[in-house]
Structure formats: structure tokens, C-alpha cells
């Protein structure tokens, strides 16, 4: 009994939303055309990508500059530590490696 009602529920669902299925099929056929694809690419996809890149580029530049500054700063700190280390080691007699 339950199997029969489940089958009918599924059938009722698909028949109730038959218009949605037809709409999806029409859209699918329309997207298969090269002209429609090109139009979507030119008028929708390309502007979205251009807008996104325009908004993201400043953040990418800031992150790149910060990365370079941090790399230089860490390098300078390491150079300073390694150049001063022999003096520190030689000046303190109780310091043993």
C-alpha cells in the first residue's frame, strides 16, 4: 500500500510542476545555441569578471606589498641577529654553546 502512495505522490509532484520541467527544457535548448552562449558570455559573464577583478586588484596589491615588506623585514632582523651574535657570545664568558 505504501509503495502505491509513494508512486502517486511522485507522479503528482511531477505533473504539478510540469511547467517547471518545460521551462528547464526550453532554457536547455536555448543555451545549446552558440548565439545564446556568446550573448550570455559577452553581456553577463565578462562584465561580472571585469567588475570582480577591478574590486579585487587593490587587495591583491596591498597583500603583495605587505608580503614583500615582511620578507625584507624578517631578512634584516635575521641578518642583524647573525651579525651581532658573535659579539654577544664573545662578550659573555658564562654563555656556553
- 33-87 pLDDT, tens digit each: 999 999 999 999 999 999 999 999 999 999 999 999 999 999 999 998 888 776 6
Residue 93 predicted with pLDDT over 90: no
Contact partners, residue 14, CB within 8 Å, separation at least 6: 21
Q: pTM of the predicted model, to two decimals?
A: 0.52
Instruction: Identify which of 40, 22, 43, 18 has the alpha carbon closest to the alpha carbon of residue 31.
Output: 40
pLDDT at 65: 98
pLDDT at 27: 87
> What's the CA gap between 86 and 26, in Å, rounded?
78
Residue 7 predicted with pLDDT over 80: no
Amino acid at each position: 500500500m505504501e509503495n502505491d502512495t509513494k508512486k502517486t505522490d511522485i507522479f503528482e509532484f511531477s505533473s504539478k510542476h510540469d511547467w517547471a520541467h518545460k521551462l528547464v527544457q526550453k532554457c536547455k535548448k536555448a543555451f545549446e545555441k552558440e548565439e545564446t552562449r556568446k550573448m550570455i558570455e559577452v553581456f553577463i559573464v565578462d562584465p561580472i569578471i571585469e567588475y570582480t577583478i577591478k574590486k579585487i586588484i587593490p587587495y591583491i596589491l596591498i597583500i603583495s606589498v605587505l608580503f614583500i615588506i615582511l620578507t625584507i623585514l624578517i631578512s634584516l632582523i635575521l641578518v642583524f641577529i647573525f651579525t651581532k651574535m658573535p659579539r654577544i657570545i664573545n662578550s659573555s664568558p658564562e654563555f656556553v654553546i
